[in-house]
Amino acid sequence: MAKLYFRYGTVSSAKTLNLLAVAHNYRNQGKKIALIKPELDTRFGKEKIKSRAGLEKDADILVKPDTELDFNKFNNVSCILVDEAQFLSEYLINQLREITVVLHIPVICYGLRADFKSKLFEASKRLMEVADTIEEIKCTCNFCNKKAVMNLKHVDGFATIEGPSVQLGCEELYFPVCFNCYKKQIDDAKKAKTREEALTT
């Protein structure tokens, strides 16, 4: 049976670069692949799958949470690669799982494990439950040399755990951090907000 893979990492851990490298290897061998991305990810253009290193390819399939995948579109496909998998729905993850069983095509999903509030995304949770192979793509903390395990959100120069879980941004909003730096940044932001409120009262 073909496998369902979940390759996760923090922001800036080169997940998309990894995906594009895998896509290149398959195509270099003359094999057909299918690139999937969520329709809501329009940071670099609606159909673009682009790494921060500058490499890019167009997605073959754009999906919404309620998209019903047409299995016939995957005829002769050797591998399915999914970018920003955390933005998918559980419904879609279940379909990708089914593809590996029915069509015997491996599916590799790349995405974040948790949001900036340290909560699992719906799709990431489902992938952790049903994936055959779970692999971490590692990177270092933005503020020290420890391994990054959290995604830290900044607004107006201060760390925050407020706002919607799905809010698209790049380095100006999100940073890969270790847990210690995550906690320190959040605590420092709370103290700064308290001081600011005290000065205005």
Q: What is the pLDDT of residues 66-83, one digit of tens each?
A: 999 999 999 999 999 999
List residues bridging with 62 in a β-sheet: 37
pLDDT, residue 184, reads 97
Strand 174-177 and strand 150-155: the pairing is antiparallel
Judge contact between 117 and 196, C-beta under 8 A.
no
Domains of the chain: 4-199 (3.40.50.300)
Judge contact between 63 and 88, C-beta under 8 A.
yes
> What pTM does this model have?
0.91
Q: What residues are annotated to the active site?
A: 84
CA distance 185 to 100: 42
Q: What is the pLDDT of residues 95-149, one digit of tens each?
A: 999 999 999 999 999 999 999 999 999 999 999 999 999 999 999 999 999 999 9
